[in-house]
Amino acid sequence: MALGIAALVLSFGVLAAHFLFHGSMAMVAVSVFMPVLLFFPRRAVARVLQIALVLGAIEWVRTLVDLAQERMAAGAPYLRSMLILSVVAALTLACALVFRIPGMRKRYGLDS
């Protein structure tokens, strides 16, 4: 369970860094706030965090497409960037599955 929580916090931290790099302070604040919700063991919290992680993965895919297009247009190598962002998107999406861990299911009332 602790590893799952650490993965969630890390995912939101990386998203916050991404938004900070792009100057989106509102999204930085949202990304930093999301892990705080883990202190409230409610079913709705689990669902909100899962939705936020899915949206975060979509943001990574959007960024991947934009970056790949820019690098291709400039004639720069793009394969490594696409691979890295694909892995980040997949891991962010996988973090939404943390709430399937039995301890997390019990804590957030997802068993019923």
Per-residue pLDDT reduced to its tens digit, 39-95: 999 999 999 999 999 999 999 999 999 999 999 999 999 999 999 999 999 999 999
d(CA 43, CA 105) in angstroms, rounded, equals 9
| Positions of E strands within 1-112 | none
d(CA 6, CA 2) in angstroms, rounded, equals 6
**pLDDT of 112 above 80:** no
Residue 112 lies in a domain: no
pLDDT of residue 54: 98
pLDDT of residue 68: 96
pLDDT of residue 111: 85
Q: How many domains does the chain have?
A: 1
Residue 12 lies in a domain: yes
Taking alpha carbons only, the member of 87, 7, 89 closest to residue 54 is: 89
Prediction pTM value = 0.93
Domain carrying residue 31? 2-107
Residue 39 lies in a domain: yes
pLDDT of residue 35: 97
